[in-house]
Amino acid sequence: MSLAELLIRHACGLAIPTLAREQRAAGAMMLPIPRAGFLQRVEGLDSALRVPGIEDIAITAKPAEKLLPFPEGASYPGFIFARGATPQEVEQALRTAYRQLRLIITPALQLV
C-alpha cells in the first residue's frame, strides 16, 4: 500500500492489513511560480502527462487566480506526481514533465 493510503487508513481508524509498502520509487514536484501575476492557463499538460513515469499532474490554481512567487506567496499552482524503478528515474521524469509545462501568467497592473 502507498504511504498516502496508510496515513488515510490510520487517520480514519480503518484496518491496516499489512505494513508492506510498495517497492517502486515515488516523487512529487511542487510547481514553482515563475513571476507574479494572474494565471490564464497551463499549456503542455498533454505532453507532460505522456512522459514515462508520470502518473498525474494536478493544477490547483484556478484561471485568473493571482499568483505570487515565494517568499511573498504561500502556495503552489500545482503538483506533478511520478513513480519509477529508482529515485533517479522518478526525478528525471518529474524534471522532463516540468519542462513541458508553460504557465501563462499575465502581469498585475502597477498603480502609481
What's the confidence (pLDDT) of residue 111? 66
C-alpha cell at 31: 510547481
SS3 35: coil
Q: Per the structure, how many domains does the chain have?
A: 1
Tell me the sheet residues that pair with 58: 79
Residue 59: give its domain's CATH number.
3.90.1170.30
What's the confidence (pLDDT) of residue 18? 79
Query: Domain range holding 88?
Result: 24-106
Spatial neighbors of 110 by CB under 8 A, at least 6 apart, are none
The verdict on residue 8 lying in a domain is: no
The verdict on residue 57 lying in a domain is: yes
In the chain (112 residues long), the average pLDDT of successive 10-residue segments reads: 79 85 88 95 97 96 94 92 96 98 89 66
The verdict on residue 5 lying in a domain is: no
The verdict on residue 16 lying in a domain is: no
